[in-house]
A = this chain, B = another copy of it.
């Protein structure tokens, strides 16, 4: 360990399902082969800098509760200490990836130039630590939402100078992400939306956002970044309405600006919930639309109306999502990022570890469940049987458009029979899933 932050805690190891050691893995074995691939390569866990090393425990009604020695004081020294602690955590947990915002790893400077210099200094530091530790960068992203300059949007700001500022910021962050070997670059439009339609030109803002994304995609190709550009949908919070509402909305946006082959989605469980969807819905839909990219695995609270970003803690919450990931072929560049924060009262450094150990283990266990569901093939078989009629020549003729509406109607009138109803078997299928858990 580079720092004393976590005291004398030893690296977390696999001890098996019977262990009651709160700092051991019961399910996560990186090298265990599941469906022909190592667990680590399936799950591609990432710890997130923002939540774990930048937050302070404050909330809208309360001050900071965490004692983080790198906060306050000299910016770059703090950033270096923060990086040391972060990599200590990565090592203790044995995770293969991390993720960051530019502003997480390097402090805002007095002006654009200084902010950029700070970021470049820290990029060097991180490059060294990546080299040394073997921990890789799942994705980078630019924080275009915290600073007051972005209060009315970044790409969708009514002031083109803010658009330009944001564009320059992304350009540099994409450069650093590429340099650090990032597998993806994420855009979360936390301020790309509106507070009130009364002061908003919706169409204009959508066009600005389309232009911005096109610029990023062009630049990606220009510099030969071989990772994936990802949009992270979220329907609201901080703004009243965000343009990247959910996967379906992002798909329509990409189609509108001709970017559906270039950009994929980074789906967060809690954001799905805020948009009125299950996590697995968003994944299944992204698979169907060909834009599945990566996951922010966390947990919301269905009784609270904001992004609680809790660590996943229920195997069922993760097993069905992972089943859909596996059915779609698994992650390519994507992975499982813990976009999750410890609760405000979890003030001890060890709480950070408890949270990740629990989250990692739930995901590992969920992977085993999902793999068993895939291997048995019973669920998929049931679905295929249900639609079997569409594989007949008659079904295919309908689907391919070989008959006109009038043709079909003539046929129905001629036959004049009632289709036969079949049970949807929902409870049976739910019980089947419960058996795997």
Known: A301-B240, A343-B195, A424-B195. Contact between A65 and B148, CB under 8 A?
yes
361-403 of chain A: CB within 8 A of chain B: 361-362, 379, 382-384, 386-387, 389-390, 392, 394-395, 398-401
Chain B: which residue is nearest A190 at the CB level? B61
A344 to B196, CA, bound (A): 12
B160 with A395: CB separation less than 8 A = yes
Interface: A333 (CB within 8 A): no
Report B-chain residues with C-beta under 8 Å of the C-beta of A426: 195-196, 198-199, 342-343, 345-346
Whether A303 touches B236, Cβ cut-off 8 Å, given contacts A170-B405, A423-B347, A427-B351, is yes
Query: Contact between A304 and B383 (Cβ–Cβ < 8 Å)?
Result: no
Q: B273–A419 contact, CB under 8 A?
A: no
**Docked-complex contact B427 and A346, CB < 8 angstroms:** yes
- Interface of chain A residues 191 through 229 with chain B (CB within 8 A): 191, 195-204, 206-208, 211, 214-216, 218-219, 222
Q: Does A296 touch B at the CB level, under 8 Å?
A: no
Contacts of A354 in B (CB 8 A): 425, 427-428, 431
Contact between A148 and B430, CB atoms less than 8 A apart: no
Instruction: Give complex CA distance A304, B163 in Å.
Output: 27
Q: Mark A216-257, 1 if CB is under 8 A from B, else 0.
A: 101100100000000000011110110001101101110110
For residue A131, CB closer than 8 A to chain B, the reply is no
A292 and B412 CA atoms in complex are apart in Å by: 33
Q: Are A379 and B158 in contact (CB under 8 A)?
A: no
A22 at the interface (CB under 8 A from B): yes
A424 — which chain B residues lie within 8 A by C-beta? 151-152, 195-196, 199, 343, 345-346
Please name all residues of chain B whose beta carbon is closer than 8 Å to the beta carbon of A236 when the two chains form the complex: 276, 303-304
- A313 interfacial contact with B, CB 8 Å: yes
Q: Please give the number of chain A residues whose Cβ is less than 8 angstroms from any Cβ of chain B in the complex.
A: 159
Which residues of chain B come closer than 8 Å to A287, judged between CB atoms? 202-203
Contact of A238 among B62, B219, B248, B275 (CB under 8 A): B62
Contacts of A334 in B (CB 8 A): none
- B contact residues around A146 at 8 Å (CB): 61-63
Contact A418 B387 (CB under 8 A): no
In angstroms, how far is the closest chain B Cβ from the Cβ of A274?
8
User: Which B residues lie within 8 Å of A379 (CB)?
Assistant: 198
21 contacts between A and B (CB under 8 A): A22-B431, A149-B421, A152-B422, A158-B390, A162-B419, A163-B398, A164-B408, A171-B408, A196-B429, A201-B383, A202-B287, A214-B401, A215-B404, A222-B404, A222-B406, A237-B304, A311-B427, A346-B423, A347-B422, A348-B423, A351-B423
